[in-house]
Amino acid sequence: MLDQLHYLATGFETALTLHHVLLMAGGVLLGILVGVLPGLGAPNGVTLLLPLTFTMDPVSAIILLSSMYWGALFGGSTTSILFNIPGEPSSVATTFDGYPMARNGKAPEALATAFLSAGFGAMAGVVVVTLIANAIADFALKFGPPEFFAVYLLTFCSYLVSGGSPLKTLASLLVGLILATVGMDTVSGEIRLTYGSDTLVSGVSFLAAVVGLFGIGELLVTIEEGLKFNGLKARMSWGVAWDAAKKMPSHAVTLVRSTVVGCWMGITPGGPTAASFMSYGLAKRFSKRRANFGKGEPDGIVAPEAADHSAGVSALLPMLALGVPGSATAAVMMGGLMIWGLQPGPMLFIERPEFVWGLISSMYVANIVAVVLVLATIPLFSSILRAPFAVVGPLIIVVCLIGAYTIGGKMSDVYIALAFGVLGYVFKKLDYPIAPLILAMVLGDKTEDAFRQSMLLSDGAMGVFFANGLVGTITTAALALLAWGLVGRLFAKRELPAAG
């Protein structure tokens, strides 16, 4: 514990320099802008900013990217409440009561409640990361190829039973796994699925794919639906924020419960979107004012916001300690770490403690900066959404394509982004989840390498995944989770006719 406090204090020395505080402020402002513009969102915003960080030192780069992440989450809440447009997928649940509350003339109160809940959830997530980061890293040092494969298997099984159609989730995972095999095989050195294209030898550009899926694909759907910005005006004052803060103790149960759910879903592969919906459902189920949900109930804002932000922060922990991203944005950041020459995993805590603890310390400061800035800039960013979508939409497309080109300076990345934009559009229209595809693209080659290395170690014996208590427990948990999800769905289908 003393070592952790020492590292944390050293991290604060790094994070509280003028240079890094300015980076936090700039990152938060950029993130809010990204969050309020539908079609961008945190994953795409971080992706677009990533090429600009290649010349920065890793500590400054990760502080800038993580600050943008916090700002994007807050920005998504702003549009959910004022315009009924979730700037982030994880902000969808906030629209259920946020927009009705704003329409009832309580827009400033709704925004202040959302931001204070989000700030509490984010800070709680940082505390959790601080307390258990070293423990998870020490535990992860016991991992070999079989253990890592078991963790990846558990991740994929968690997504398969996380909700929605399991067949559609499986299809999305399989598409991602196929894309992850394109290029040079890291074990044998063979070239796979390139069809004679030299540009695919290094694989499908993950960053270009994210730009297409999250940016262009979302905008294509938006254009088809003929979206128009019709927002509500909101003038924020510190008096409104103070009044909302005084009411927060009355939401303490919902706040704490949602934060716990968010931290759990962030550390496991559930992610912020699943956490926000789950917390909203729990808040509605256990509330004495259940009938008021959907009509402007404050608990309906507190629950998804606290869960969303605590999950968003906690999702960085498995990415740093295990190399397993807990959200789409964490997956993009993980790609950034690799580009900077850092390998996520337990050795990162030993080899680069100043990086890890500089990031953790910056989370404390950046979240405070984010709450202050978002309260001060609501009128500015809400006015942006009064611009015609015919102007804003093309600008987002241009930014996406420029971002795709700057990844490697190749037109092939632009074509990949456009192709994945069409794929994202098709997935949206057919209601296929995109997150499993992204997860599979990030973890696909790692999962394959871990499996093949395990097979080489055991001469092809599958028993290696039950060879000791650690790997056996993880593998059993993955299979049990998968079986539980399938059996639960079978029972649900049997009960439906009886209920009717």
Of 54, 55, 10, 50, the C-alpha closest to 27 is 50
Q: Is the pLDDT of residue 3 over 60?
A: yes
**CA angle 454–456–460, rounded 5-degree value:** 85
Q: Is the pLDDT of residue 59 over 60?
A: yes
Full-model pTM: 0.63
Q: Give per-residue pLDDT as tens, 340-394.
A: 777 787 778 777 877 888 888 888 888 888 888 877 776 665 555 556 667 767 7
Q: Count the helices and strands in the chain (H runs, E runs).
A: 22, 2
Q: Is the pLDDT of residue 65 over 80?
A: yes
Q: pLDDT at position 387, please?
A: 64
Q: Is the pLDDT of residue 233 over 60?
A: no
Q: pLDDT at position 225, please?
A: 67
Phi, psi of 237, rounded to the nearest 5 degrees: -135, 160
Q: Is the pLDDT of residue 231 over 60?
A: no
Cross-strand bridge partners of residue 184? 191
Question: Are 447 and 187 spatial neighbours (Cβ–Cβ below 8 Å)?
Answer: no
The predicted model gives 460-481 an average pLDDT of 87
CB atoms within 10 A of CB 406: 16
Q: Give per-residue pLDDT as tens, 304-351.
A: 899 888 888 887 787 787 777 666 677 777 777 777 777 787 778 777
> What does DSSP assign to residue 317?
H
Q: What is residue 17's three-state secondary structure?
A: coil
Domains of the chain, residue spans: 1-227+234-490
Mean predicted lDDT score pLDDT of the chain: 78
243 against 396, higher pLDDT: 243
Q: pLDDT at position 500, please?
A: 43
DSSP per residue, 380-443: HHHHHTTS-HHHHHHHHHHHHHHHHHHHHT-HHHHHHHHHHHHHHHHHHHTT--SHHHHHHHHH
The CA-to-CA distance between both ends of the chain, in Å, stands at 57
All residues at 6 or more sequence positions from 195 whose CB lies less than 8 Å from its CB, including other chains: none
All residues at 6 or more sequence positions from 445 whose CB lies less than 8 Å from its CB, including other chains: 180, 181, 186, 203
DSSP per residue, 136-179: HHHHHTT--HHHHHHHHHHHHHHHHTSSS-HHHHHHHHHHHHHH
Q: Give per-residue pLDDT as tens, 4-39.
A: 677 778 778 878 888 888 988 888 888 887 776 655
Q: How many residues does this entry show for the chain? A: 500
Residue type, 325: P
Q: Give per-residue pLDDT as tens, 410-425.
A: 888 888 889 998 998 8
The predicted model gives 282-300 an average pLDDT of 82
Say what percent of the chain tops pLDDT 90. Answer: 3
Alpha-carbon dihedral sign for residues 229, 234, 238, 241: negative
Q: Is the pLDDT of residue 486 over 60?
A: yes
Q: pLDDT at position 476, please?
A: 92
Residue 38, exposed/middle/buried by CB under 10 A (0-12, 13-18, 19+)?
buried
Q: Which two tokens stand for residue 189?
A: 């050195």
